[in-house]
């Protein structure tokens, strides 16, 4: 696998295994978050060669960004990494509302710059469409921030095809982030081809399908948390998937990597996908994710793994 790739046509070059920071400092999303472990996880990610960090305001209501900024300042590594973050949410107690207005996005970028302790953000996403602001107006605001040097690339996340096409009316969208994995490949029908045609990089989130494609679950050991309510974790569908996942063990032995590494490497072999951003809440998880770089899958092997889950 190549050690560094360009994200679409952005000019941003990164190691294709990024660092998804959704658990870093994310007290609002996960229980028992230990910030010292979060700090050490970021430090280890840097040591292990991760140079693409993907955060968002909603990951700890800004705390993920603050911890990343703190460690980059501590280590002096800001210039070595590509920083991505997202905004769209206004949180007031239990109330959450979405805002894509130019005024909100302009302020959100300024606040993110402070939290990250930097004077530019490499990739800034609109995290969710608000359903009110015309998408091209929202992206136009980010284009002005790009021209001002505050951000280097423009992204949208969780936009459907209609909203994406509207957002990209002027050709300003550089990156799309959305839910995708080998077991829910629906976006291969329209969004990913659109991204390829328009030289937009597609970055999948949940490429490991919330852990279902890691090999850690079995018929006797299904997840006991919120995941057990999801369709793919129930009944015959669940049993079929874990049987297919288990069949990858021969490939893992051949390449001396984990099942998760095989899945991530396969995902990276899909046209239009330049990088993946698996999450990590501990140093060991970072090290495990980065071993994906050792999975030198052939085109034939990538095709076989993809066909397995069709």
* Residues catalogued as catalytic: 59
Phi, psi for 46 (deg, rounded to 5):
-65, -45
Please tell me the number of Cα atoms within 13 Å of 284 on its side-chain side.
0
Rounded Cα gap, residues 142 and 129, in angstroms:
14
Beta strand segments in 119-246, E: 123-126, 154-157, 175-179, 201-205
Neighbours of 77 (CB within 10 A): 15
| Strands laid side by side in the 19-20 sheet | 19-20, 52-54, 82-87, 123-126, 154-157, 175-179, 201-205
Residue 96 host element (H or E):
strand 95-98
Containing H/E element for 140? helix 135-147
**What Cα–Cα distance (Å) separates residue 205 from each residue in 164, 208, 292?**
17, 8, 16
> How far is residue 59's CA from residue 21's CA, in Å, rounded to a whole number?
7
Pick from 265, 287, 291, 260: nearest CA to 276? 265
């Amino acid at each position: 696998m190549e050690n560094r790739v360009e994200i679409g046509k952005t000019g941003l070059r990164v190691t294709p295994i990024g660092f998804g920071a959704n658990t870093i400092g994310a007290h609002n999303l996960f229980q028992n978050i230990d910030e010292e472990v979060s700090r050490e996880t970021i430090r280890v990610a840097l040591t292990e060669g991760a140079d693409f960090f993907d955060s968002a305001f909603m990951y700890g209501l800004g705390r993920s960004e603050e911890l990343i900024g703190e460690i980059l300042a501590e280590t002096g590594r800001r210039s070595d990494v590509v920083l991505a973050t997202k905004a769209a949410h206004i949180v007031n107690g239990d109330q959450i509302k979405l805002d894509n207005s130019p005024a909100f996005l302009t302020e959100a970028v300024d606040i993110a710059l402070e939290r990250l302790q930097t004077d530019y953000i490499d990739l800034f996403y609109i995290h969710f469409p608000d359903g009110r602001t015309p998408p091209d107006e929202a992206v136009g605001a980010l284009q002005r921030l790009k021209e001002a040097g505050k951000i280097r690339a423009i992204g949208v996340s969780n936009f459907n095809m209609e909203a994406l096409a509207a957002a990209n009316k002027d050709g300003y969208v550089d990156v799309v982030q959305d839910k995708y994995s080998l077991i829910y490949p629906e976006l291969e029908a329209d969004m990913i081809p659109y991204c390829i045609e328009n030289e937009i990089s597609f970055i999948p989130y949940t490429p490991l399908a919330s852990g279902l494609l890691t090999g850690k679950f079995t018929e006797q050991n299904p997840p006991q948390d919120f995941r057990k309510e999801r369709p793919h974790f129930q009944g015959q569908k669940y049993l079929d998937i874990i049987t297919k996942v288990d069949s990858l063990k021969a490939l893992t032995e051949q390449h001396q990597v984990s099942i998760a590494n095989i899945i991530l490497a396969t995902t990276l072999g899909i046209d239009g996908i330049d990088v993946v951003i698996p999450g990590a809440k501990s140093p060991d998880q970072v090290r495990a994710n980065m071993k994906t770089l050792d999975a030198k899958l052939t085109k034939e092997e990538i095709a076989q793994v993809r066909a397995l889950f069709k």
